[in-house]
Amino acid sequence: MVKNPYIILQARMNSERLPGKVMMPAGGKPLIGILFDRLGNAGIPVLLATSVNPENDKLADYARKKGVEVFRGSENNVLERYYLAAKSVGADLVFRLTGDNPFVEGTLINNIYNLFLQKGSFRTYISTGLSNTYPLGISVEAFSFKLLEEAYKNATLPGELEHVTPYMHQNQPGNIEIIPFGFELNRSHYRLTVDTEKDFDLFRILVEEFKADTLTIPEIVSLLDKHADLTKINSGIIQRPWK
């Protein structure tokens, strides 16, 4: 029985390709602020997991002003940061999000939560990414604290520590139940993540000209379907694979 679900959102200021992106404004609001607001209707508490590096002080202060809890841990061992963050609030079910995916919304979290309640166990891992149907940047992973703790105790490779969930989605122990969570259409060729300047350009245009921060994910996808010119802004960006 799930008693204490938490959305744990990882973010930091010193991203390699676009430093400071999570605090860059669009429509008068920082990117991370738009994401916080979009998660508000989930009815599940949000915890920002950032690093102890001083450059993240501004990010942590902003989150607290928005009423978001903050945990600060390792810069590079993100798996450890996630585990200790979840442990600090007694989370028994974790929804993993990243700060560079501003269009994730509470409704999607709720839909995944309901699926977990219906079919999940402490050995279940649910992911939108594995479905290869959502636009890149509509990314949510759900897993139990017990499974997170198992990964923390057993994962050793640098990529497992940096990316948190490879132990789960690569099914390292061989007995994890993996459930892809798909979109009704295949729109995996759209980029709604913010990793580069061109990605941010698209994000800013969508927010400032089309009010996409107020739209549902299906409505944003429909908007991109109708305005193919928008998708060309960042279509040439090559996504870095996890190592």
Per-residue pLDDT of the chain (243 residues; tens, 9 = 90+): 799 999 999 999 998 889 999 999 999 999 999 999 999 999 999 999 999 999 999 999 999 999 999 999 999 999 999 999 999 999 999 999 999 999 999 999 999 999 999 999 999 999 999 999 999 999 999 999 999 999 999 999 999 999 999 999 999 999 999 999 999 999 999 999 999 999 999 999 999 999 999 999 999 999 999 999 999 999 988 877 655
pLDDT of residue 16: 85
Stated pTM of the model: 0.96
- Contact of 9 with 35, CB cutoff 8 Å: yes
Crossing angle, helix 31-39 and helix 106-119, to 10 degrees? 50
Q: Which residues are CB-neighbours of 57 under 8 A, at least 6 positions away?
A: none
pLDDT of residue 239: 76
- The full set of domains in the chain, from first to last, is 5-231 (3.90.550.10)
Provide the strand spans (E) within the chain.
5-10, 25-26, 29-30, 46-51, 69-73, 93-98, 124-127, 141-144, 177-180
Distance in angstroms (rounded) separating the CA atoms of residues 50 and 84 = 11
DSSP readout, 162-218? HHS-HHHHTTTTS--EEEE---SS--TT-B-S--SHHHHHHHHHHHHHH-GGGS-HH
Work out the end-to-end distance of the chain between its first and last CA atoms, rounded to an integer number of angstroms.
Answer: 34
pLDDT of residue 186: 98
pLDDT of residue 243: 59
pLDDT of residue 1: 75
What's the chain's Rg over C-alpha atoms?
17
